[in-house]
Chain A
Amino acid sequence: MDWSTYRSSTWDELIADGAPRPELGPLADYLAALTVSDVRARQRAAEAAVQAMGITFTVYQDGANLDRAWPLDVLPRVITTQEWDRVEAGLLQRMRALNLFIDDLYGAQKVIADGVLPAELLADSANFRPECCGISPPQGVWAHISGCDLVRDGDGTIYVLEDNLRVPSGVSYMLENRKITKRVFGDLFRDLDIQPVDDYPARLYDLLASLTPRRGVEPALVVLTPGVHNSAYFEHAFLAQQMGAALAEGSDLVVDDDDVVWMRTIDGRKRVDVIYRRIDDLFLDPEAFRPDSMLGVPGLMRAWRSGTVAIANAPGAGVADDKVIYSYVPELVRYYLGEDILLPNVPTWRCIDPAERSHVLAHLHELVVKPANESGGYGILIGPRATPEELDEYRIRIEADPRNFIAQPTLAISTAPTLSGGQLAPRHLDLRPFVLSGDRAYVTRGGLTRVALREGSLVVNSSQGGGSKDTWIVDPTVGARP
């Protein structure tokens, strides 16, 4: 197709100067030969496959939980292996440092004693769990599974936008997207060297099994879900199925007086060794946290503390999701590893610092301001798009609680061609790779690309109308020209 009329306002992942990026190798020729009607036909095939395969996500609307078909834009987002190797090294470095950091916070807190992190940050952290102090989980790892959000700026730099160390979701959709694109782009999978992603469930199983407190016995694994009404239930069931683990709700598990966790089975009770929990900390155990939680298992923290069961991610791991702590990650990498950070953070002003705060307040209309402990894009102020009233209101909120806000420059987040109204148009996107940390660390080859489907929009969350793309890590030196 003729790409000469395709214009992105920023860096585009596939197209530059009116033609497919030559650095993509044979794929660039393929994109040049593609027609819009061909893409449309493949999009229809993809949507039919999503329906038939029952790939859904759940939205809460009008008091009911509704299953929606998973939105996939069929044209993939492509990254070269050479670039991906650098991203992977950066993610591994980051997770090494963050796990050392969390372990330190719940242990000796040397990072505070040495003056790297201000003590008051910890005292006010919404996701710091004093209940976890003094605990040493197996291998010293707290955040076993993480999903960092990456974005690319207009100059091509890839930044880490945020860390998700609590219960990051989306990996099942990464795997499903690949199944669909294999169906509808089968020809390309023959001609190109697209790196596989399907080994994730096996890697996740190996990681979880390695945490078992009972050596020499085949570990009993459980995926702990809040239940069928949770927006990520599809993923919980998917991962349990892929790993051959039991998919349990809190009511399926019991902790006895000896702090051992059991599941209710048709053969009576059976001991549980490892819990991959997809429930937030505060709902995990009504004995330890919110007493009104119906989702959790009374006594689970007792059991975890006494080491009879492993929990991934460990309770309290979310402390590093705090966006103020995020801003310290470059310092943490240097402090724990003695290295320079490989994958940069977005430059961040901390409102807790008086000088930085006055800069933020003076430039509010140019900046993106984020609350420290929200996820899913909630509570964010996008300065250039805010009304004067919204700016004033936000100014008051920052001054009232400066510790809980950070500000970043507005990035010119990259785009990729996306079907919209039957035509290919540039749409903004991000990328969530998944990192497994344990005896052997692992990064997915690619990840889940989320794309904003409306023109100019930066909202990629599926709950708010965002879509997704398959992510192809491709070696441009391999493959036949079409």
Chain B
Amino acid sequence: MTLLSSAAESLYWTGRYLERAEGTARILATHTALFMDLPRSAGLTWAPLLAITGTSDQFDELYPAPDEDHVVEFLATDGANSGSVVRSLEQARFNARVTRAIVPRDAYEIINDVHRDAAERAFEAVPRRSRLAWLSYVIDRCRAFIGVIDGSMPRDPAWSFLRLGRHLERADLTSRVLDVRAGALIEAEGAGPGGPSGELDPEELQAFADLQWIEVLRSVEAHQAYRRKVHSAVGGREVLAFLLQDRLLPRSVLHCMEQVSSSLAPLRHPDELVERCTQIQRYVAHARLEVLERDGLREWVDDLQVLLGQLHDEIGAAYFHAPVVAPTAHDDA
């Protein structure tokens, strides 16, 4: 089965953008739920969501302040934010359209529908009374897409590129959530009582910290799995270990990287790609959590992000933008 480089690139981006839409919708939904649980005095803000999605600067140019309505609008529906849920769906649809000859028809119809419906009902995304329904609709449709893909698509290179995009995006998002949310929690714990939420007594503070650790887990759909595996109370070290290194957890960074490697395996894969994947897996598997749970998590995630970026570029060079006129060893003449 022949796969054009341009089609492979569109499949990869379809996988990435759909995962981005789903992931952004999920962090919006979990943060909204957390906000409803915590008292105002806990000092929770919406700015961390901007940090997770790496859009703080762009937001500041467009909006006066990171209050709830503005942040939700910016991340859910704003056409000016290329990473908003609606824009991600739009770009997923554009790329899927280019690969319409390859993606199963039912899967294309899902993208087509969710893009149209989410955009048409954009006004429901911000008000609290309709927000969670809007977000769960998007999440549900993105999952339905993966269901069709997994249930009906041959395990050919086209499938590999969709998976590749999806898992790289997942690894990226999980690491960003840890960076921003876990990083902040660790710093707050380090500051001890009398820190930013000084009006609260230590017991309350601990309760709120627990809720926030739970949010970290829920942001990447890992709370229930965590409960089943780790029976003790939620704690920083355990969460870090779970989300970074648990091989069996679908959104852990290590699991995602193993999926990236297994997506590449059936393709013609240059050595440097394999080496890069191995390097990232080793980096994650050997992370010294006993240190990171106290200090240095952000720097550690920054370096991981750089590695993921390099892998992304190398995938492009190997499959999407390779020079063609010069004969290659893989000519099928």
Residues of A within 8 A of B (CB): 51-54, 220, 223, 228, 233-234, 237-238, 240-241, 244-249, 251-252, 254, 256, 260, 262-271
Contact = CB atoms under 8 A, between A and B. Distances in A.
A256 B325 contact: yes
A53 B6 contact: no
A241 B99 CA distance: 9
Contact of A52 (B1, B7, B101, B113): B113
A422 to B, nearest CB: 25
A264 B102 contact: no
Given A267-B330, A269-B327, A241 B101 contact: yes
Nearest to A239: B101
Given A228-B97, A247-B101, A53 B268 contact: no
A269 B328 contact: yes
Contact of B2 (A53, A220, A228, A251): A220
Nearest to A249: B6
A252 B100 contact: no
Nearest to B103: A241
Contacts of B267: 266
Contacts of A267: 3, 268, 330, 332
Contacts of A269: 324-325, 327-328, 331
A268 B330 contact: yes
Interface in B95-123: 97-98, 100-102, 105, 108-109, 112-113, 116
Contact of A262 (B98, B105, B113, B324): B324
A245 B101 CA distance: 8
Q: Is the interface of A mostly helix, strand, loop or mixed?
A: mixed
Considering the complex of A and B, which 6 residue pairs feature the smallest CB-CB distances, nearest first?
A: A268-B328, A240-B101, A268-B330, A237-B100, A54-B112, A241-B101
B274 to A, nearest CB: 16
B2 A263 contact: yes
Contacts, number: 91
B291 interface: no
Is the interface on chain B under 10, 10 to 19, 20 to 34, or 35 or more residues?
35 or more
A298 B325 CA distance: 13
Interface string B240-279: 0000000000000000000000000001100000000000
A246 B331 contact: no
A254 B2 CA distance: 16
B328 A246 contact: no
Contacts of B333: 260, 271
Contacts of A234: 100
Nearest to B160: A266
A231 to B, nearest CB: 14
A253 to B, nearest CB: 9
A266 B315 CA distance: 10
B5 interface: yes
A389 B171 CA distance: 69
A51 B325 CA distance: 42
B8 A271 contact: no
Interface of B: 1-8, 94, 97-98, 100-102, 105, 108-109, 112-113, 116, 157, 161, 267-268, 319, 322, 324-325, 327-333
Contact of B101 (A237, A266, A268, A271): A237
A54 B107 CA distance: 11
Contacts of A270: 2, 331-332
B2 A265 contact: yes
A266 B268 contact: yes
Contact of B4 (A52, A233, A238, A264): A264
Contacts of B330: 267-268
B6 A241 contact: no
7 contacts: A52-B109, A237-B97, A246-B101, A262-B324, A266-B4, A266-B267, A268-B268
Residue of B1, B101, B161, B329 with highest tally of chain A CB at under 10 A: B101
Contacts of B3: 246, 265-267
Given A267-B268, A267-B330, A269-B324, A252 B4 contact: yes
A246 B4 contact: yes
Contacts of A252: 4-6
B2 A268 contact: no
Given A52-B113, A264-B6, 14 more contacts: A54-B113, A223-B101, A228-B94, A233-B97, A237-B100, A238-B100, A241-B101, A241-B102, A246-B101, A254-B324, A256-B325, A266-B4, A268-B328, A268-B329
Contacts of A262: 324
B270 to A, nearest CB: 12
Contact of A265 (B5, B105, B325): B5
A66 to B, nearest CB: 13
Contacts of B327: 269
Contacts of B116: 51
Contacts of A256: 325
B268 to A, nearest CB: 5
Contacts of B331: 268-270
B279 to A, nearest CB: 23
A255 to B, nearest CB: 10
Contacts of A251: 6
A248 B4 contact: yes
A232 to B, nearest CB: 13
A97 B217 CA distance: 72
A115 to B, nearest CB: 48
A195 to B, nearest CB: 24
Contacts of A260: 333
Nearest to B326: A269
Contacts of A265: 2-5
A270 B8 CA distance: 15
A348 B1 CA distance: 50
A311 to B, nearest CB: 18
A262 B325 CA distance: 9
B5 A264 contact: yes
Contacts of A266: 3-5, 8, 157, 161, 267-268, 319
A271 B116 CA distance: 39
A223 B6 CA distance: 14
